[in-house]
Amino acid sequence: MVTKKDINIYFSTKKGQILLADSLDILRSEKTSSVDLIMTSPPFGLVRKKEYGNVDADEYVEWFKLFAKEFRRVLKDTGSFVLDIGGAWNKGVPTRHLYHFKLLIMLCEECNFHLAQDFYWWNPSKLPTPAEWVTVRRIRVKDAINCVWWLSATPWPKASNRRVLQPYSDSMRVLLKNGYRAKKRPSGHDISEKFQINNGAAIPPNLLAIPNTESNSHYIKYCTDNGLRVHPARYPAELPEYFIRMLTDKGDKVVDPFAGSCVTGEVCERLDRKWLCIDMCEEYLNGAIGRFDKSNDEPKPDSETYYKIPRPGILWNGTTYDPLPKDGGASRPNSKKNK
């Protein structure tokens, strides 16, 4: 077991630390019931291996179980474990691997976590991949969401949706202004007068629209200026920020065991949470330090702040008719007419 003196503190502030280590070793030396939130994006299970320690999707659940047992042990009864996890495609066929669903079931059935809520992070700027199925054979649509499993130690983790409210939609604003006649919806739901009360902001859904397009941040500039590699699989700060706000109070302890470029630590530092970021790859931590540079004058995100998603029927005009490929797309189109 790792003792305190073996721990390599790579960087620290008054509120947090970055450790260069295998997080499994560190977690094994953490006190039981001492952490309020584990917020992380682990290496995803991939069929084709990427560079940052991805495990084969078929072995993923067993690999992750060792970490999960420690996560559950160190979490307080009021605590949460939020896991951002992307899906994977099976090799050579247009079907999805089930590893992230199997992982969720393992976490709840074998590691004693509760599924507080499933969230879906939609990245509106995601490219249409995998190209072979999406843009060449045109038999699947683009894969643009990650699952974000919000797990908890008990069914009653501390949480408040008041911390993550969002502006009312245009239609809700009209409704608040013009009033609404209380009635039953066709679904049977009773829309009472209470829905007319203007609470100042709306309760968000479990779909988070966040583009992953960071290009002009202080972190990128720091890496570029210092000839350091930018982490290839960062999540946008709004993702951990959402859960850190909703699930922790000031002074609470947040751990990111697969910290990469330490986005989680940066958010915690700004929001006055205690934090611990662990990564085993020094190359990524070199750049991560730039996030805590005092001259950090973060530019505002250059992206849209409100997204509209078209209703699927908008182009269903019934005038074009493409016969479906009889073989389900098993043979590759080779003529221009398939474009």
Ligand X SMILES: C[S@@+](CC[C@H](N)C(=O)[O-])C[C@H]1O[C@@H](n2cnc3c(N)ncnc32)[C@H](O)[C@@H]1O
How many whole angstroms separate alpha carbon 241 and alpha carbon 261? 15
Is 84 among the catalytic positions? yes
Cβ 279 to ligand X shortest distance, Å: 4
> What residue ranges bind ligand X (CB under 6 A)?
22-24, 41-43, 52-53, 231, 233-235, 258-261, 263, 278-281, 284
Question: Would you say 48 and 56 are in contact if contact means Cβ atoms under 8 Å apart?
Answer: no
Cβ 233 to ligand X shortest distance, Å: 4
Between 126 and 158, name the residue whose CB sits nearer to ligand X. 126
Our CA angle for 49, 72, 249, nearest 5°, is 105
Among 36, 42, 252, 256, the active-site one is 42
Cβ 261 to ligand X shortest distance, Å: 3
Cβ 282 to ligand X shortest distance, Å: 9
How many whole angstroms separate alpha carbon 233 and alpha carbon 210? 15
What's phi and psi for 53, nearest 5 deg? 80, 25
Q: Which residues of 308-324 are buried (b: 16+ CB within 10 A; e: fewer)?
A: eeeeeeeeeeeeeeeee
Of the candidates 30, 86, 15, which has an alpha carbon nearest to the alpha carbon of residue 265?
15
Between 41 and 78, name the residue whose CB sits nearer to ligand X. 41
Between 151 and 277, name the residue whose CB sits nearer to ligand X. 277
CA 231 to chain centre: 16
Cβ 3 to ligand X shortest distance, Å: 18
**Which residue's C-beta sits nearest to ligand X?**
260
Between 22 and 132, name the residue whose CB sits nearer to ligand X. 22
How many whole angstroms separate alpha carbon 80 and alpha carbon 78? 7
Cβ 121 to ligand X shortest distance, Å: 12
Question: Would you say 256 and 26 are in contact if contact means Cβ atoms under 8 Å apart?
Answer: no
Is 299 among the catalytic positions? no
Among 36, 84, 143, 279, the active-site one is 84
Between 40 and 78, name the residue whose CB sits nearer to ligand X. 40
Between 152 and 261, name the residue whose CB sits nearer to ligand X. 261
The Cβ of residue 235 has, within 10 Å, a number of other Cβ atoms equal to 23
Among 23, 41, 152, 217, the active-site one is 41
CA 301 to chain centre: 18
DSSP code per residue over 57-75: GGGHHHHHHHHHHHHHHHE
Q: Kindly list the catalytic residues.
A: 41-42, 84
